[in-house]
Amino acid sequence: MRAPDASTVTLCLFGAGGERRVAMIRHDDQWRADVPDVGPGDLYGYRADGPAALGFDPAKLLVDPYALELDRPFAYHPRLGQRGVDTADLVPRAIVPVPWTDDPLPPRRFQPGGFIYELNVRGFTMRHPDVPAEQRGTIAALAHPAVIAHLRRIGVDAVELMPIVAWIDERHLGPLGLTNAWGYNPVAMMALDPRLAPGGMDELRATIAALRAAGIGMILDVVFNHSGESDLAGPTLSLRGLDPLSYAHAPDGSLINDAGTGNTLDFGRPHVRALALDALRHFARMGVEGFRFDLAPVLARSPAFDPAAPIFAAIAEDPVLSTRIMIAEPWDIGPGGYQLGAFPDGWLEWNDRYRDDVRRFWRGDLGAGALATRVAGSSDLFGRAARTRSVNFVSAHDGFALADVVSYAGRHNHSNGEDNRDGHAEEVSWNNGVEGPSDDPDIRRRRDDDVRALLATLFASRGTVMLTAGDEFGRTQDGNNNAYAQDELSWLDWAGRDTALEDFVARLAALRRAGPLTDQLWLAQADWRDLSDRPMTPERWQAANGFVLRLPMGAEMLTLRIDRDERRVTLARCTLLESRA
């Protein structure tokens, strides 16, 4: 156990007789204890003492940062942040794991250019009629035949699970009667949250295997930029009590807040990078095919963002991690935090410029030339390489649901308890004449046209496609664009889904997969024309409200026609006939 600034560290063992404490011995920055009667299934934690100025508090039970399983979820209580108050009854205990041997690392199925399906494990299946009630809301539910059938039907290449490691609610949520529904407040970076995985690591491995057998990979959304220990008034649960300098500090000693949570992990420190790398390897060896990094610039800060930061080389040189897909959310809230296009060549990046420009085009305030740049892979952001690193999306977990993009002109986050001040205030959206639900058939038709145009544009674009679960059948968050604390609002309505829209998405995915669109090299063969079928010129791009893109595909031609005036996207294949004299 690493605790370089501690004066004492105690191993705490829990059994029928209560808590047993074993003094540990320092070895440089590490502390060790030999306890021969401890084995798989036993429960443990730590206590540490040291300089009060650093925040050490021996009254606090601490979770092993390398814990693989916990006996219960984290639950916030004010005592967790009160100095000198014992918390052994509140803090989860780590479980000594059963040793397991790594299986041979299977080849990665998912390739850039494929279709990623972002989902919240709990919300995805809580209302699924075919999943047994006792299994709903768990990772195991993703292996249910009905769930896999849906994923295969709409053409998913990889599911991207929102955070699944053990997290704690932010302290302001309890008094509001709310809970963290998304999991972006982790404490243990490797331990699965018991609410999502009551079967532990075996449950995750079995689900990965079932999805893989169906041709579907798994990507994990990981949060290494901060922990649930929050600011100085937050709970002491793990790193804060063992190695408080794992968090980044300003010259005046205050915590740096580049993540917007009150604390930011310091990736300038080798041991912080090692913890993140070890967590990635742990999940990769279980069969995870890739990782999406929340607020990824933090990984390269010390304290400024460095595109040549050590963690990038460490991942590229690692025999396991170098074979996995790495996806950056390329922004945080720190100085110089917007780094879209600045990550290493092997990384994919969430492209919010794609999201906003596609929306702006269909809202009517952006030209066809700008849209064509996004459809063609955003070379202005990622250069003119043969393969683009863009992850294209028109909605995500963060922000409006796709149906709400065309139904609300502004956010409606009052239920979050922050007077509608939270969430992005400048969301690119429109309501087609009425804010929120409408029974007017003309408004409903226009909204349906807009959603289909957005989806068709997405699936026709060069790059990797990402769709958030439920957007294929009309999920809504009632205009809430920051639904992190809205548990039931995130439960997908399987009974009320728009099956016609779902069929449309399935056809789009099939057409994309069958044609040249998953091959990122198609740009070199693109024939761009205006809506009158004339070759594009700079002047025609300036005046255009749409365009036609033609792509050869063997003996056939794929034609994409985007016409804003008609609120329509046409994606079609036709056979090329050869005439001979």
What gap in Å lies between CA 237 and CA 227, rounded to an integer? 10
Distances in whole angstroms, Cα of residue 178 to Cα of each of 203, 213, 227, 415:
28, 38, 19, 9
SS3 for 84-96, per residue? Answer: CCCCCCCCCCEEC
Residue 140 tokens, joined? 């195991």
Q: Which of 221, 294, 352, 471 is catalytic?
A: 294
Beta bridge partners of 552: 557
| Crossing angle for the helix pair 270-285 and 310-317, to the nearest 10 degrees | 30
Residue 400's nearest CA partner among 411, 392, 391, 390 is 411
What is the rounded CA–CA span in Å between residue 537 and residue 542?
A: 9
Q: Measure the CA–CA gap between 543 and 565, rounded to whole angstroms.
A: 13
Residue 183's identity, in one-letter code, is G
Count of C-beta atoms within a 10 Å radius of residue 296? 25
DSSP notation for 420-469: T-SS-TT-----TTSSS----HHHHHHHHHHHHHHHHHHHTSSSEEEEET
Identify the active-site residue in 329, 349, 450, 472.
329
| Separation between Cα atoms, residue 239 and residue 526, nearest integer Å | 53
Planar angle of CA 538, 539, 544, nearest 5 degrees: 100
Q: Is residue 24 within 8 Å of 78, Cβ to Cβ?
A: no
203 noted as active-site residue: no
Active site residue 329: yes
Catalytic residues: 294, 329
